[in-house]
Amino acid sequence: MARRVLAAGLALLAVVIAGCSRSEAGVVPAEPVPDLGAQQVFRHQVYAQRETGALRLDLFLPRRGAEATPLVVYVHGGGWDAGERTLDVDPGAPEARAAQRLLERGYAVATVDYRLTGVARSPAQVVDVADAVRWLQQNSARWGLDADRVGLWGASAGGHLVSQLGAVAGDPAKPGGGLTGIRAVVDWFGPSDLSAEAQHEHPQLQDYARRAITGLLGCMPVDCPDVADAASPARNLSGDEPPFLIQQGTADSLVPLDQSLDFAAALRSRGVTAEMHPYQGLDHGFGKGPQTSLIVDALDVFVRAHV
């Protein structure tokens, strides 16, 4: 298993070159962003101020019930250096369909900014997402949210970030660590190991690593192995993690499927609930097609079981 993790690890770094799913293009939609069936939408909420400017989130609320509303926080991809919090406007896109399903089930959905690598290095991205979650929890009474029922969901680079937050949830001393109320993590095709060993295993991919990991870490993994390990969810597991759902296409050309399989196995070996759902023939980002319904259904069932 260890060899497969090492062999797969650096190949995933190509993700930062090509970006991720359609929602990561970084292009402001020409049409108004749909409300995905939400009862209310609160856009552009400032959750933190950094030297580089304000960080914002959008909050989609379902029809209110008698109890406080559970929350799912979505983190976009884009190779850590691109992308935006706005969900794909195409109602057929997996992200939009999944968010709409969650709203129909009575979950609030928040989509969040984080500092990109053009202005900040790791662990800024993880810290930002953690601060967004804490801000929503601290302001939960304002929107009737249940601060103790929170799910994290991310795609590609966003999948890496939510996986890292899940991995360090039990350790407040680590950047972004110590989040409370996290009931589940949904990782869509996110990288989980950015280690120096992976770079050694695939020297032919060092160009990818140079353009990708150097942007995130500020160094090559072989030059800063401790920094690289600290940013790798697979190397921060303790057994205190919430349940994980990992979803990925078997034809993913950017993040090797073996890495997700091994990550799920590592979680299970520590007693953590981890579901791994591969989708035959799908590439990175899933795209749109008949398997989208299966992807959304699996997310729906998992979130309802744990959040």
CA torsion sign for 179, 185, 191, 196 is positive
How far apart, in whole angstroms, are the C-alpha atoms of residue 80 and residue 158? 8
Phi then psi for 54, rounded to 5 degrees? -75, 145
How far apart, in whole angstroms, are the C-alpha atoms of residue 57 and residue 239? 30
How far apart, in whole angstroms, are the C-alpha atoms of residue 187 and residue 75? 10
Q: Cα 155 to the chain's mean position, in Å?
A: 5
Question: Which parts of the chain have pLDDT scores under 70?
Answer: 1-34, 88-89, 198-210
pLDDT tens for residues 62-80? 998 889 999 999 999 998 9
Could you tell me the pTM of the whole model?
Answer: 0.89
How far apart, in whole angstroms, are the C-alpha atoms of residue 160 and residue 222? 20
Question: Quick one: pLDDT at residue 147?
Answer: 98
Question: Quick one: pLDDT at residue 29?
Answer: 40
| Residue carrying the six token digits 């706005």 | 86
Question: Quick one: pLDDT at residue 65?
Answer: 82
CATH fit for domain 2-306, picks 3.40.1160.10, 3.10.20.30, 3.40.50.1820, 2.60.40.420 = 3.40.50.1820
- Taking each helix axis from N to C end, the angle separating 94-104 and 292-306, rounded to the nearest 10 degrees, works out to 40
Q: Which of 190, 196, 178 is nearest to 238 (CA)?
A: 178
* Cβ neighbourhood burial of 58 (10 Å; 0-12, 13-18, 19+): buried
Structure tokens at 3: 């060899």
How far apart, in whole angstroms, are the C-alpha atoms of residue 168 and residue 179? 8
For the chain, give the number of residues.
307
Structure tokens at 21: 């799913």
Structure tokens at 181: 């109320």
Q: Which of 157, 170, 152, 125 is nearest to 15 (CA)?
A: 157
Quickly count helices (H) and strands (E) in the chain.
11, 8
**278 in helix, strand or coil?**
strand
Question: Quick one: pLDDT at residue 265?
Answer: 97
Structure tokens at 59: 């909050």
Phi then psi for 246, rounded to 5 degrees? -115, 125
